[in-house]
Amino acid sequence: MKKALVIFSGGQDSTTCLGWAKNRYDKVEALSFEYGQRHSIELEQAKKIAKKLNIKHTILNISLFKEIGNSALLDKESDINAPHSQKQNLPSSFVPNRNAIFFTAAHAFAQRIGASYLITGISQEDYSGYPDCRAEFIKPLEKALNIGSDSDIKFLYPLIHLTKAQTFKLAKDEGVLDIVIKDSHTCYNADHSTFHPWGYGCAECPACKLRQKGWEEYQDSF
């Protein structure tokens, strides 16, 4: 039996990956993280999506980010559209070492449930300027985690070379576009009441702008 674990935020990318995995593996589980994110509404949407797709869903609490992180994504009073306070070449929403910690925890969880594949929705095409969303970061991490645990868990990232427009297309191909539009959440400002053709959001934060741009390009190209 091929079993996969999807790192699942409840956003556009990870929802697309959940649909992708469900169509390819015998058993799929989803793992989300509660880490003090200002848009914690994403976890409520993640629960709804997992239920719709009949996927077992676990939420892990990682409260340490509030103590070690420096990011507007952890502080509702910070300007989400500004540069990072310490890393001026990165967006304020960048959470240092977030993906490294997520992948490490997910790798351990995959061992616990017997999953051979760990799937993540990172993309280095439309990646919001996050350096930990690139293959050159995740491939060495995969190798190190497997060496350090005597494991052979494969990291899969089906969106790595896709634009947001192409991700919308993949969601349609995998049969989850309607769920992406109506249920997924990516807005950093936690607006899940204002609906647009591309989904819910404030239409002003970087996540919404990227999603809207991708939707418009998808409409024009596919």
Share of the chain above pLDDT 90, in %: 81
Query: Mapping DSSP to helix (H, G, I), strand (E, B) and coil, where does residue 128 land?
Result: coil
pLDDT tens per residue across span 53-67: 999 999 999 989 888
Please give the pLDDT value at position 90: 84
> Which residue has tokens 């797709």?
53
The model's confidence at residue 82, banded by pLDDT at 50, 70 and 90, is confident
What is the phi/psi pair of residue 141, to 5°?
-65, -45
If you count DSSP H runs as helices and E runs as strands, how many of each does the chain have, helices first? 8, 7
Average pLDDT over residues 109-126: 94
Please state the pTM of the whole predicted model. 0.95
User: Measuring CA to CA, which residue among 110, 175, 166 is closest to residue 142?
Assistant: 110
Please give the pLDDT value at position 63: 87
CA angle 206, 203, 211 (to 5 degrees): 60
User: Measuring CA to CA, which residue among 158, 140, 142 is closest to residue 14?
Assistant: 158
Distances (CA, A) of 23 to 85, 124, 139, 162, 175: 42, 24, 24, 19, 9
Count of domains forming the chain: 1
CATH code, 160: 3.40.50.620
The residue segments making up the domain with residue 62 are 3-221
pLDDT beyond 90 at 209: yes
What is d(CA 201, CA 187) in angstroms, rounded to the nearest whole number? Answer: 5
What is the phi/psi pair of residue 95, to 5°?
-110, 110
User: Measuring CA to CA, which residue among 125, 132, 3, 117 is closest to residue 69?
Assistant: 132
What is d(CA 107, CA 101) in angstroms, rounded to the nearest whole number? Answer: 10
> Per mean pLDDT, which range of 33-47, 76-90, 207-221 is the poorest?
76-90
The model's confidence at residue 126, banded by pLDDT at 50, 70 and 90, is low
If one compares 143 and 73, the residue with the highest pLDDT of the two is 143
